[in-house]
Structure 1
Amino acid sequence: MNRPYVICHMLQSIDGKIAGGFFREKETTKLAKIYSEISTNYDGDAIIYGKTTALELFSLTHLNKSSNITYNLTDHVYQKENKKWLVVIDLKGEIAWDSSIYKNRRLQDKNLIVILSEAISNQYLELLKKLNISYLFAGKKEISLKVALEKLYDLCSIKKLLLQGGGITNKFFIEEDLIDELSLVVSPVVSGESNQPNLFEDCKDYLGNVFDLKQSDLLNKSGLYLKYIRK
Protein backbone atom coordinates (compact mmCIF):
# COMPACT_ATOMS: atom_id res chain seq x y z
CA MET A 1 0.00 0.00 0.00
CA ASN A 2 1.28 3.45 -0.92
CA ARG A 3 0.67 5.89 1.90
CA PRO A 4 2.21 9.04 3.35
CA TYR A 5 5.05 8.94 5.87
CA VAL A 6 3.28 9.90 9.11
CA ILE A 7 4.96 12.08 11.74
CA CYS A 8 3.10 12.60 15.01
CA HIS A 9 4.30 16.08 16.03
CA MET A 10 2.99 17.29 19.38
CA LEU A 11 3.65 19.72 22.23
CA GLN A 12 2.97 18.11 25.60
CA SER A 13 3.39 18.49 29.36
CA ILE A 14 5.76 16.29 31.34
CA ASP A 15 2.84 13.99 32.19
CA GLY A 16 1.76 13.63 28.57
CA LYS A 17 -1.13 16.11 28.36
CA ILE A 18 -1.63 17.90 25.04
CA ALA A 19 -4.15 20.54 26.16
CA GLY A 20 -5.08 22.46 29.28
CA GLY A 21 -3.63 24.92 31.74
CA PHE A 22 0.01 24.13 31.09
CA PHE A 23 -0.27 25.98 27.77
CA ARG A 24 -0.68 29.24 29.73
CA GLU A 25 2.68 28.89 31.48
CA LYS A 26 5.49 31.06 30.10
CA GLU A 27 7.76 28.02 29.73
CA THR A 28 5.21 26.42 27.41
CA THR A 29 4.62 29.65 25.49
CA LYS A 30 8.31 29.87 24.62
CA LEU A 31 8.42 26.24 23.57
CA ALA A 32 5.30 26.67 21.42
CA LYS A 33 7.31 28.93 19.11
CA ILE A 34 10.00 26.27 18.75
CA TYR A 35 7.30 23.66 18.17
CA SER A 36 5.92 25.75 15.30
CA GLU A 37 9.40 26.17 13.81
CA ILE A 38 9.98 22.42 13.89
CA SER A 39 6.61 21.86 12.25
CA THR A 40 7.54 24.30 9.47
CA ASN A 41 10.96 22.70 8.99
CA TYR A 42 9.38 19.29 8.44
CA ASP A 43 7.87 20.77 5.27
CA GLY A 44 5.07 18.22 5.18
CA ASP A 45 2.61 18.00 2.32
CA ALA A 46 -0.27 18.08 4.80
CA ILE A 47 -1.31 18.43 8.43
CA ILE A 48 -4.09 16.21 9.77
CA TYR A 49 -6.45 16.91 12.70
CA GLY A 50 -9.32 15.08 14.31
CA LYS A 51 -12.81 16.57 14.57
CA THR A 52 -12.44 17.93 18.12
CA THR A 53 -9.16 19.68 17.35
CA ALA A 54 -10.61 21.20 14.16
CA LEU A 55 -13.65 22.52 16.04
CA GLU A 56 -11.34 24.22 18.55
CA LEU A 57 -8.88 25.65 16.04
CA PHE A 58 -11.51 27.05 13.67
CA SER A 59 -14.05 28.09 16.34
CA LEU A 60 -16.79 26.14 14.60
CA THR A 61 -19.85 24.31 15.92
CA HIS A 62 -21.50 20.92 15.54
CA LEU A 63 -24.00 20.53 12.73
CA ASN A 64 -27.41 18.93 13.23
CA LYS A 65 -27.00 15.78 11.17
CA SER A 66 -29.50 15.30 8.35
CA SER A 67 -31.22 11.94 7.94
CA ASN A 68 -31.12 12.30 4.14
CA ILE A 69 -28.36 9.83 3.31
CA THR A 70 -26.47 10.23 0.06
CA TYR A 71 -26.08 7.70 -2.72
CA ASN A 72 -23.44 9.73 -4.53
CA LEU A 73 -20.29 8.36 -2.93
CA THR A 74 -17.76 9.82 -5.33
CA ASP A 75 -14.63 11.41 -3.88
CA HIS A 76 -14.35 15.12 -4.63
CA VAL A 77 -10.93 16.81 -4.84
CA TYR A 78 -10.69 20.56 -5.29
CA GLN A 79 -7.14 21.89 -5.38
CA LYS A 80 -6.37 25.56 -5.86
CA GLU A 81 -2.93 26.12 -7.32
CA ASN A 82 -0.12 24.06 -5.79
CA LYS A 83 -0.97 24.62 -2.18
CA LYS A 84 -0.45 22.06 0.55
CA TRP A 85 -3.26 20.39 2.43
CA LEU A 86 -5.03 20.55 5.76
CA VAL A 87 -6.85 17.27 6.43
CA VAL A 88 -9.68 16.83 8.95
CA ILE A 89 -11.19 13.50 9.99
CA ASP A 90 -14.94 13.92 10.54
CA LEU A 91 -16.63 10.50 10.62
CA LYS A 92 -20.26 11.64 10.42
CA GLY A 93 -19.89 15.08 8.87
CA GLU A 94 -20.60 16.99 12.08
CA ILE A 95 -18.52 20.13 11.57
CA ALA A 96 -20.53 23.17 10.47
CA TRP A 97 -18.02 24.64 8.02
CA ASP A 98 -18.59 28.18 6.76
CA SER A 99 -16.72 30.77 4.70
CA SER A 100 -15.07 32.26 7.81
CA ILE A 101 -12.57 29.39 7.83
CA TYR A 102 -10.60 31.03 5.04
CA LYS A 103 -9.74 33.92 7.35
CA ASN A 104 -7.89 31.46 9.59
CA ARG A 105 -4.10 31.65 9.12
CA ARG A 106 -3.90 27.84 9.08
CA LEU A 107 -5.64 27.83 5.71
CA GLN A 108 -3.84 30.72 4.08
CA ASP A 109 -1.51 28.41 2.18
CA LYS A 110 -3.49 25.17 2.25
CA ASN A 111 -6.40 23.41 0.59
CA LEU A 112 -8.89 21.81 2.97
CA ILE A 113 -9.95 18.16 2.69
CA VAL A 114 -12.32 16.21 4.95
CA ILE A 115 -12.24 12.44 5.51
CA LEU A 116 -15.78 11.03 5.82
CA SER A 117 -17.63 7.77 6.26
CA GLU A 118 -20.39 6.95 3.78
CA ALA A 119 -23.16 7.82 6.28
CA ILE A 120 -23.34 11.39 5.00
CA SER A 121 -26.21 13.42 3.58
CA ASN A 122 -26.31 14.98 0.11
CA GLN A 123 -26.98 18.27 1.84
CA TYR A 124 -23.68 18.10 3.70
CA LEU A 125 -21.70 17.22 0.57
CA GLU A 126 -23.23 20.16 -1.25
CA LEU A 127 -22.14 22.43 1.60
CA LEU A 128 -18.55 21.18 1.26
CA LYS A 129 -18.55 21.67 -2.51
CA LYS A 130 -19.97 25.18 -2.18
CA LEU A 131 -17.08 26.08 0.13
CA ASN A 132 -14.48 24.42 -2.15
CA ILE A 133 -13.75 21.80 0.50
CA SER A 134 -12.57 18.46 -0.85
CA TYR A 135 -13.78 15.20 0.66
CA LEU A 136 -12.81 11.53 0.55
CA PHE A 137 -14.82 8.50 1.66
CA ALA A 138 -12.91 5.99 3.78
CA GLY A 139 -15.49 3.50 5.04
CA LYS A 140 -19.19 2.74 5.38
CA LYS A 141 -19.92 3.47 9.05
CA GLU A 142 -16.37 3.68 10.40
CA ILE A 143 -13.30 5.24 8.84
CA SER A 144 -10.40 3.07 7.72
CA LEU A 145 -7.25 5.12 8.18
CA LYS A 146 -5.39 2.87 5.77
CA VAL A 147 -7.93 3.61 3.04
CA ALA A 148 -7.83 7.32 3.88
CA LEU A 149 -4.03 7.45 3.73
CA GLU A 150 -3.90 5.56 0.47
CA LYS A 151 -6.35 8.00 -1.11
CA LEU A 152 -4.46 11.01 0.24
CA TYR A 153 -1.30 9.60 -1.35
CA ASP A 154 -2.87 8.72 -4.70
CA LEU A 155 -5.36 11.56 -5.20
CA CYS A 156 -3.63 14.45 -3.43
CA SER A 157 0.05 13.52 -3.81
CA ILE A 158 0.55 13.68 -0.04
CA LYS A 159 3.85 11.93 0.71
CA LYS A 160 4.61 13.38 4.15
CA LEU A 161 1.83 13.92 6.71
CA LEU A 162 2.07 15.71 10.05
CA LEU A 163 -0.36 14.25 12.59
CA GLN A 164 -1.20 16.88 15.21
CA GLY A 165 -4.01 15.42 17.28
CA GLY A 166 -6.04 15.32 19.18
CA GLY A 167 -5.48 12.42 21.51
CA ILE A 168 -8.24 10.22 20.07
CA THR A 169 -7.02 10.67 16.51
CA ASN A 170 -3.44 9.98 17.60
CA LYS A 171 -4.69 6.81 19.28
CA PHE A 172 -6.36 5.54 16.12
CA PHE A 173 -3.13 6.02 14.18
CA ILE A 174 -0.94 4.28 16.77
CA GLU A 175 -3.42 1.41 17.13
CA GLU A 176 -3.21 0.74 13.39
CA ASP A 177 0.61 1.04 13.51
CA LEU A 178 0.53 3.97 11.08
CA ILE A 179 2.92 6.35 12.88
CA ASP A 180 6.42 6.27 11.41
CA GLU A 181 7.94 9.00 13.58
CA LEU A 182 7.22 10.70 16.91
CA SER A 183 8.33 14.32 17.24
CA LEU A 184 7.69 15.57 20.77
CA VAL A 185 8.33 18.95 22.37
CA VAL A 186 8.03 18.45 26.14
CA SER A 187 7.24 21.41 28.37
CA PRO A 188 8.77 21.31 31.90
CA VAL A 189 5.31 21.65 33.42
CA VAL A 190 3.23 18.99 35.16
CA SER A 191 -0.43 19.30 34.18
CA GLY A 192 -2.21 16.83 36.43
CA GLU A 193 -5.57 17.66 34.80
CA SER A 194 -7.46 14.39 34.49
CA ASN A 195 -10.05 15.97 32.18
CA GLN A 196 -7.46 16.92 29.55
CA PRO A 197 -6.40 14.58 26.72
CA ASN A 198 -3.21 12.55 26.69
CA LEU A 199 -0.89 12.15 23.72
CA PHE A 200 -2.71 8.86 23.05
CA GLU A 201 -6.14 9.11 24.59
CA ASP A 202 -8.47 6.38 25.82
CA CYS A 203 -6.20 3.41 25.09
CA LYS A 204 -7.69 0.40 26.83
CA ASP A 205 -5.24 -2.29 25.72
CA TYR A 206 -1.46 -2.56 25.64
CA LEU A 207 -0.22 -1.15 22.34
CA GLY A 208 3.33 -2.48 22.28
CA ASN A 209 4.62 -0.08 19.61
CA VAL A 210 8.40 0.34 19.89
CA PHE A 211 10.40 3.33 18.64
CA ASP A 212 14.12 4.12 18.46
CA LEU A 213 15.29 7.43 19.93
CA LYS A 214 17.11 9.31 17.15
CA GLN A 215 17.44 12.79 18.61
CA SER A 216 17.17 14.52 21.98
CA ASP A 217 17.79 18.23 22.50
CA LEU A 218 17.55 20.53 25.51
CA LEU A 219 15.27 23.50 24.77
CA ASN A 220 15.37 26.76 26.73
CA LYS A 221 17.28 25.09 29.58
CA SER A 222 14.34 22.98 30.78
CA GLY A 223 12.27 21.80 27.82
CA LEU A 224 13.03 18.79 25.64
CA TYR A 225 12.81 17.83 22.02
CA LEU A 226 12.56 14.09 21.37
CA LYS A 227 12.51 12.39 17.98
CA TYR A 228 11.63 8.70 17.73
CA ILE A 229 11.57 6.51 14.62
CA ARG A 230 9.47 3.35 14.44
CA LYS A 231 11.51 0.15 14.62
Structure 2
Amino acid sequence: MSVRIVCHMISSVDGRLVSQRWSSPTRSINISEVYESVASSFQAQGWMIGRTTMAEYDCGVTESAPAPTDNQNNKTCFKGHQADRLIAVVFDPKGKLHYSSDHLQTGEHIVSVLSENVSDEYLSELRQIGVSYVFEGESKQNRFQKALKSIEELFSVKTLLLEGGGIINGAFLEAGLIDELSVLIYPGLDGAHSSPSIIGYQGDNPLPAQKSHLELIDAKTMAFGMVHLHYRLTNDHKKQ
Protein backbone atom coordinates (compact mmCIF):
# COMPACT_ATOMS: atom_id res chain seq x y z
CA MET A 1 0.00 0.00 0.00
CA SER A 2 1.42 3.37 -1.01
CA VAL A 3 -1.36 5.82 -0.08
CA ARG A 4 -0.06 8.75 1.94
CA ILE A 5 -2.25 9.30 5.02
CA VAL A 6 -2.29 12.79 6.54
CA CYS A 7 -4.26 13.12 9.78
CA HIS A 8 -5.54 16.70 9.52
CA MET A 9 -7.42 18.06 12.54
CA ILE A 10 -8.25 21.20 14.48
CA SER A 11 -8.20 21.32 18.26
CA SER A 12 -8.36 23.69 21.20
CA VAL A 13 -5.06 24.53 22.91
CA ASP A 14 -5.73 21.66 25.33
CA GLY A 15 -6.18 19.20 22.45
CA ARG A 16 -9.94 18.81 22.59
CA LEU A 17 -12.15 18.01 19.62
CA VAL A 18 -15.66 19.43 20.09
CA SER A 19 -15.56 23.02 18.83
CA GLN A 20 -18.89 23.94 20.41
CA ARG A 21 -17.24 23.62 23.82
CA TRP A 22 -14.26 25.89 23.17
CA SER A 23 -13.91 29.26 24.85
CA SER A 24 -14.53 32.35 22.72
CA PRO A 25 -11.53 34.01 21.06
CA THR A 26 -10.74 37.68 21.49
CA ARG A 27 -11.87 38.28 17.91
CA SER A 28 -14.05 36.44 15.40
CA ILE A 29 -12.41 33.50 13.63
CA ASN A 30 -13.37 31.93 10.32
CA ILE A 31 -12.33 28.41 11.32
CA SER A 32 -13.46 26.76 8.08
CA GLU A 33 -11.48 29.19 5.93
CA VAL A 34 -8.21 28.47 7.72
CA TYR A 35 -8.85 24.73 8.02
CA GLU A 36 -9.72 24.26 4.34
CA SER A 37 -6.82 26.42 3.21
CA VAL A 38 -4.36 24.13 4.99
CA ALA A 39 -6.22 20.99 3.88
CA SER A 40 -5.98 22.00 0.22
CA SER A 41 -2.21 22.34 0.51
CA PHE A 42 -1.88 18.56 0.78
CA GLN A 43 -3.46 18.05 -2.66
CA ALA A 44 -5.37 15.00 -1.45
CA GLN A 45 -7.80 13.07 -3.63
CA GLY A 46 -10.25 12.74 -0.74
CA TRP A 47 -10.71 12.35 2.99
CA MET A 48 -11.73 9.75 5.56
CA ILE A 49 -13.92 9.90 8.65
CA GLY A 50 -15.66 7.52 11.04
CA ARG A 51 -19.33 6.56 11.03
CA THR A 52 -20.41 8.86 13.86
CA THR A 53 -18.75 11.87 12.26
CA MET A 54 -20.34 11.12 8.88
CA ALA A 55 -23.82 10.84 10.43
CA GLU A 56 -23.35 14.37 11.79
CA TYR A 57 -21.68 15.77 8.68
CA ASP A 58 -24.43 15.66 6.06
CA CYS A 59 -28.21 15.89 6.36
CA GLY A 60 -28.55 13.35 3.53
CA VAL A 61 -26.95 10.66 5.70
CA THR A 62 -29.02 8.87 8.35
CA GLU A 63 -28.06 6.23 10.90
CA SER A 64 -30.07 3.18 11.95
CA ALA A 65 -29.54 -0.30 13.39
CA PRO A 66 -26.78 -2.45 11.86
CA ALA A 67 -27.55 -3.94 8.46
CA PRO A 68 -28.52 -7.63 8.21
CA THR A 69 -25.59 -10.04 7.98
CA ASP A 70 -24.80 -13.19 6.04
CA ASN A 71 -21.93 -15.65 5.77
CA GLN A 72 -21.03 -15.05 2.13
CA ASN A 73 -17.33 -14.47 1.59
CA ASN A 74 -15.31 -12.98 -1.27
CA LYS A 75 -17.75 -10.18 -1.95
CA THR A 76 -16.79 -7.80 -4.76
CA CYS A 77 -16.05 -4.11 -4.27
CA PHE A 78 -18.27 -1.66 -6.13
CA LYS A 79 -17.29 1.62 -7.78
CA GLY A 80 -20.11 4.06 -8.43
CA HIS A 81 -20.01 7.06 -10.75
CA GLN A 82 -17.31 9.23 -9.23
CA ALA A 83 -17.46 11.88 -11.97
CA ASP A 84 -14.03 13.34 -11.11
CA ARG A 85 -15.18 14.20 -7.61
CA LEU A 86 -13.01 13.94 -4.53
CA ILE A 87 -13.93 10.92 -2.43
CA ALA A 88 -15.35 10.86 1.11
CA VAL A 89 -14.43 7.56 2.76
CA VAL A 90 -16.50 6.47 5.77
CA PHE A 91 -15.65 3.50 7.98
CA ASP A 92 -19.00 1.85 8.67
CA PRO A 93 -18.26 -1.87 9.12
CA LYS A 94 -21.74 -2.79 10.38
CA GLY A 95 -23.58 -0.90 7.65
CA LYS A 96 -25.48 1.50 9.89
CA LEU A 97 -25.56 4.44 7.48
CA HIS A 98 -28.09 5.13 4.74
CA TYR A 99 -27.67 7.68 1.97
CA SER A 100 -29.97 9.81 -0.15
CA SER A 101 -27.31 10.38 -2.82
CA ASP A 102 -23.99 8.99 -4.02
CA HIS A 103 -22.31 12.25 -3.02
CA LEU A 104 -22.38 14.71 -0.14
CA GLN A 105 -23.74 18.23 -0.24
CA THR A 106 -20.14 19.41 -0.28
CA GLY A 107 -19.66 17.44 -3.52
CA GLU A 108 -17.52 14.44 -2.55
CA HIS A 109 -18.38 10.95 -3.84
CA ILE A 110 -19.14 8.57 -0.96
CA VAL A 111 -17.08 5.42 -0.44
CA SER A 112 -18.23 3.12 2.37
CA VAL A 113 -15.82 0.73 4.09
CA LEU A 114 -17.76 -2.31 5.28
CA SER A 115 -17.32 -5.71 6.83
CA GLU A 116 -17.86 -8.60 4.44
CA ASN A 117 -20.52 -9.82 6.86
CA VAL A 118 -23.04 -7.20 5.74
CA SER A 119 -25.76 -8.75 3.61
CA ASP A 120 -26.18 -8.26 -0.12
CA GLU A 121 -29.52 -6.63 0.71
CA TYR A 122 -27.63 -3.68 2.17
CA LEU A 123 -25.02 -3.73 -0.61
CA SER A 124 -27.84 -3.67 -3.17
CA GLU A 125 -29.20 -0.55 -1.49
CA LEU A 126 -25.82 1.15 -1.86
CA ARG A 127 -25.49 0.07 -5.50
CA GLN A 128 -28.92 1.43 -6.38
CA ILE A 129 -27.99 4.83 -4.94
CA GLY A 130 -24.52 4.69 -6.51
CA VAL A 131 -22.49 4.75 -3.29
CA SER A 132 -19.16 2.97 -3.77
CA TYR A 133 -18.02 0.38 -1.25
CA VAL A 134 -14.96 -1.67 -0.33
CA PHE A 135 -14.30 -4.16 2.44
CA GLU A 136 -12.03 -4.10 5.45
CA GLY A 137 -9.76 -7.00 6.38
CA GLU A 138 -10.93 -9.70 8.75
CA SER A 139 -8.03 -9.39 11.19
CA LYS A 140 -6.93 -6.44 13.29
CA GLN A 141 -3.61 -6.42 11.44
CA ASN A 142 -5.10 -5.89 7.98
CA ARG A 143 -8.42 -4.24 8.81
CA PHE A 144 -7.49 -0.88 7.28
CA GLN A 145 -4.79 -2.02 4.86
CA LYS A 146 -7.16 -4.13 2.77
CA ALA A 147 -9.67 -1.30 2.45
CA LEU A 148 -7.02 1.29 1.61
CA LYS A 149 -5.49 -0.96 -1.03
CA SER A 150 -8.89 -1.38 -2.69
CA ILE A 151 -9.49 2.39 -2.58
CA GLU A 152 -6.07 3.03 -4.08
CA GLU A 153 -6.77 0.63 -6.93
CA LEU A 154 -10.34 1.78 -7.64
CA PHE A 155 -9.78 5.53 -7.41
CA SER A 156 -6.04 5.93 -8.12
CA VAL A 157 -5.53 7.95 -4.95
CA LYS A 158 -2.10 9.01 -3.76
CA THR A 159 -3.02 11.05 -0.67
CA LEU A 160 -5.99 10.88 1.71
CA LEU A 161 -6.76 13.13 4.66
CA LEU A 162 -7.82 11.39 7.87
CA GLU A 163 -10.19 13.83 9.59
CA GLY A 164 -11.66 12.01 12.57
CA GLY A 165 -13.29 11.62 14.88
CA GLY A 166 -10.84 10.76 17.59
CA ILE A 167 -11.64 7.03 17.68
CA ILE A 168 -10.86 6.35 14.02
CA ASN A 169 -7.77 8.57 14.28
CA GLY A 170 -6.62 6.55 17.28
CA ALA A 171 -7.15 3.27 15.48
CA PHE A 172 -5.06 4.45 12.51
CA LEU A 173 -2.34 5.69 14.86
CA GLU A 174 -2.16 2.39 16.73
CA ALA A 175 -1.99 0.52 13.41
CA GLY A 176 0.97 2.66 12.30
CA LEU A 177 -0.83 3.99 9.22
CA ILE A 178 -0.52 7.76 9.71
CA ASP A 179 2.30 9.27 7.65
CA GLU A 180 1.85 12.91 8.67
CA LEU A 181 0.02 14.77 11.43
CA SER A 182 -1.38 18.23 10.71
CA VAL A 183 -2.95 20.04 13.66
CA LEU A 184 -4.46 23.51 13.65
CA ILE A 185 -4.50 24.95 17.16
CA TYR A 186 -7.47 27.19 17.88
CA PRO A 187 -6.84 29.98 20.42
CA GLY A 188 -9.31 28.69 22.99
CA LEU A 189 -9.78 26.07 25.67
CA ASP A 190 -12.24 23.32 26.51
CA GLY A 191 -11.07 22.57 30.03
CA ALA A 192 -13.10 19.46 30.78
CA HIS A 193 -11.35 16.20 31.64
CA SER A 194 -14.07 14.14 29.96
CA SER A 195 -14.06 15.92 26.58
CA PRO A 196 -12.93 13.85 23.59
CA SER A 197 -9.53 14.58 22.11
CA ILE A 198 -8.50 14.65 18.45
CA ILE A 199 -6.89 11.22 18.90
CA GLY A 200 -8.76 8.86 21.22
CA TYR A 201 -7.79 5.22 20.73
CA GLN A 202 -10.22 2.64 22.11
CA GLY A 203 -8.77 -0.83 22.19
CA ASP A 204 -6.62 -3.35 24.02
CA ASN A 205 -3.23 -1.66 23.53
CA PRO A 206 -2.46 0.37 26.70
CA LEU A 207 0.22 2.39 24.84
CA PRO A 208 -1.17 2.95 21.32
CA ALA A 209 1.28 5.74 20.46
CA GLN A 210 4.39 4.08 21.89
CA LYS A 211 5.77 3.06 18.48
CA SER A 212 5.11 6.42 16.80
CA HIS A 213 7.82 9.06 16.47
CA LEU A 214 7.18 12.66 15.40
CA GLU A 215 9.51 14.87 13.41
CA LEU A 216 8.51 18.51 13.01
CA ILE A 217 8.16 19.54 9.37
CA ASP A 218 6.81 23.04 9.89
CA ALA A 219 5.20 25.36 12.43
CA LYS A 220 3.31 28.46 11.32
CA THR A 221 1.26 31.20 12.89
CA MET A 222 -1.93 31.45 10.83
CA ALA A 223 -4.68 34.03 10.53
CA PHE A 224 -6.86 34.83 13.55
CA GLY A 225 -4.16 33.75 16.01
CA MET A 226 -4.29 30.09 15.02
CA VAL A 227 -1.15 27.94 14.83
CA HIS A 228 -0.43 25.12 12.39
CA LEU A 229 1.84 22.26 13.43
CA HIS A 230 2.90 19.75 10.77
CA TYR A 231 4.75 16.56 11.69
CA ARG A 232 6.11 13.55 9.87
CA LEU A 233 5.34 10.27 11.64
CA THR A 234 7.69 7.33 11.53
CA ASN A 235 6.48 4.13 13.10
CA ASP A 236 7.98 0.87 14.26
CA HIS A 237 5.10 -0.86 12.47
CA LYS A 238 5.71 -1.64 8.83
CA LYS A 239 2.98 -0.92 6.31
CA GLN A 240 1.89 -3.96 4.42
**Which blocks of at least 5 consecutive residues in structure 1 are unaligned?**
none
Using a 3 Å threshold, how does the CA distance of structure 1 residues 166 and 30 change in structure 2: closer, same or farther?
Answer: same
Structure-1 residue corresponding to 2:136: 138
Q: % of aligned pairs identical?
A: 26
AA aligned opposite 1:11: I
Using a 3 Å threshold, how does the CA distance of structure 1 residues 221 and 80 change in structure 2: closer, same or farther?
Answer: closer
Structure-1 residue corresponding to 2:238: none
TM-superposed deviation, 1:30: 2.7
**TM-score normalised to structure 2 length:** 0.85
Partner SS, residue 172 of structure 1: helix
Answer 1 or 2: which has greater helix percent. 1
Contact 1:184 1:226 in 2 (8 A): yes
Structure-2 residue corresponding to 1:228: 231
Partner SS, residue 81 of structure 1: coil
Structure-2 residue corresponding to 1:64: 65
Using a 3 Å threshold, how does the CA distance of structure 1 residues 130 and 29 change in structure 2: closer, same or farther?
Answer: farther
Contact 2:78 2:132 in 1 (8 A): yes
1:85 counterpart = 2:69: no
Structure-2 residue corresponding to 1:12: 11
Q: Which piece of structure 1 moves more, 164-173 or 62-71?
A: 62-71
CA distance in 2, matches of 1:138, 1:28: 42
Contact 1:183 1:227 in 2 (8 A): yes
**Which blocks of at least 5 consecutive residues in structure 2 are unaligned?**
235-240
Structure-2 residue corresponding to 1:126: 124
Contact 1:113 1:134 in 2 (8 A): yes
CA distance in 2, matches of 1:127, 1:141: 26
CA distance in 1, matches of 2:29, 2:128: 37
2:213 to 202, 210, 213: 210
Structure-2 residue corresponding to 1:42: 42
2:99 to 97, 100, 104: 97
Per-residue CA distance 1:149-199 (angstroms, 9 max, x = gap): 111112221110100000001001100111111111001111123443211
Partner SS, residue 178 of structure 1: coil
Using a 3 Å threshold, how does the CA distance of structure 1 residues 96 and 131 change in structure 2: closer, same or farther?
Answer: same
**Higher relative contact order (Cα pairs below 8 Å, separated by 6+ residues):** 1
